[in-house]
Amino acid sequence: MHPKVVITCAVTGNITTREQHPDLPVTPEEIAEASLLAAEEGASVVHLHVRDPETGRPSMAFEYYRETVELIRARNPQLILNITTGPGGRFVPGEDDPKVAGPGTTLVRPEVRVSHIARLRPEICTLDLNTMNSGREVVINTPRNVTVMAREIRAAGVKPELELFDTGDLHLARALMAAGELEGPGLFSFVLGVNYGWDPSPETMMYARDKLPAGAVWTGFGIGRAEFPMVAQSWLLGGHVRVGLEDNIFISKGVLAPSNAALVARAREILASLGAEPARPAEARRLLGLA
């Protein structure tokens, strides 16, 4: 356990909808404002997806990424930006011919999925290693595609955060490090509680932690009602923490969280009760190997 904890706030994601939470940030202005308010409550990292401002649906449009980043950096240049590269990996089998992509498929070339990273150069970007069921769809991240993306991320001088959803993802990460495609010991996040992936339990988090390369830095977080229990669990096992409306929309049972900032404040309170406090951005840069 460490006295300073990096809190990441995942402010919007690509799954949560306005129907589920009416105040979900959607426009670049809303996403930037949510990020800045989360920072005021103790987040030193914000994890960014973008949305189409008209429809609220997930987007990969560079203009929305650029505007969001510019708005945040203009007001808080020290806040660490962690931008997603997850969109573009979803496949929906066609009903008549399952090998033909059906409506909802987003698959694009891996170079496209990281093109905004090279142009914006955030401190961190995620690199998903999972190929798994996601609802009635499939997320596909083949070793070849992950390798292509890893090379582009390295060329941009950005640190990848390796998102792991199940055991096989961890083994893939180690194989890519052994092949020299990823630098070790690595920055990892454990995503616990997604259907058909890791369950949000102490046993799972301990297993994942113990299989990491020596010296790796990691964050463990839970989806839905597992969010706050995993805040405590991750810190107790030596990790950092993540909260946000991407992962959970409730502040307590049946009560919608007022905002991302409120979720960060609750995480800060949990950590304080255990004897820890949020790392400031400068401290977080050192802890995450960015300094």
Q: Return the HEC string of 208-219.
A: HHHCCCCCCEEE
Give the integer Cα–Cα distance in Å for 57 and 281.
30
Give the integer Cα–Cα distance in Å for 251 and 234.
19
Domains of the chain, start order: 4-287 (3.20.20.70)
Place of tokens 């690595």: 186
Beta bridge pairs of residue 124: 82, 159
Q: What is the pLDDT of residue 177?
A: 98
Strand arrangement of the beta sheet that strand 80-83 belongs to: 217-222, 187-192, 159-164, 124-128, 80-83, 45-48, 7-10, 241-243
Place of tokens 């706050």: 228
Rounded to 5°, angle at Cα 144 from 141 and 150: 80
Q: What is the pLDDT of residue 264?
A: 98
Q: What is the pLDDT of residue 30?
A: 98
List Cα–Cα distances, 110 to 91, 127, 172, 231, in angstroms.
14, 11, 17, 32
Residue 87 corresponds to which amino acid?
P
Q: What is the pLDDT of residue 266?
A: 98
DSSP 258: S
Pair 186, 162: CB distance under 8 Å: yes
Q: Which helix (H) or strand (E) holds 145?
A: helix 143-155
Q: Sign (positive/negative) of CA torsion 270, 275, 278, 284?
A: negative
Q: What is the pLDDT of residue 224?
A: 97
Q: What is the pLDDT of residue 11?
A: 98
Q: What is the pLDDT of residue 223?
A: 97
Residues in the chain, how many? 291
Write phi, then psi, for 118 (nearest 5 degrees).
-65, -30
The tokens describing 132, both together, are: 């798994």
Q: If 0-12 CB within 10 Å is exposed, 13-18 middle and 19+ buried, where does residue 193 land? A: buried
| Per-residue pLDDT tens digits of the chain, which is 291 residues long | 789 999 999 999 999 999 999 999 999 999 999 999 999 999 999 999 999 999 999 999 999 999 999 999 999 999 999 999 999 999 999 999 999 999 999 999 999 999 999 999 999 999 999 999 988 899 999 999 999 999 999 999 999 999 999 999 999 999 999 999 999 999 999 999 999 999 999 999 999 999 999 999 999 999 999 999 999 999 999 999 999 999 999 999 999 999 999 999 999 999 999 999 999 999 999 999 997
Q: What is the pLDDT of residue 2?
A: 87
Pair 129, 147: CB distance under 8 Å: no
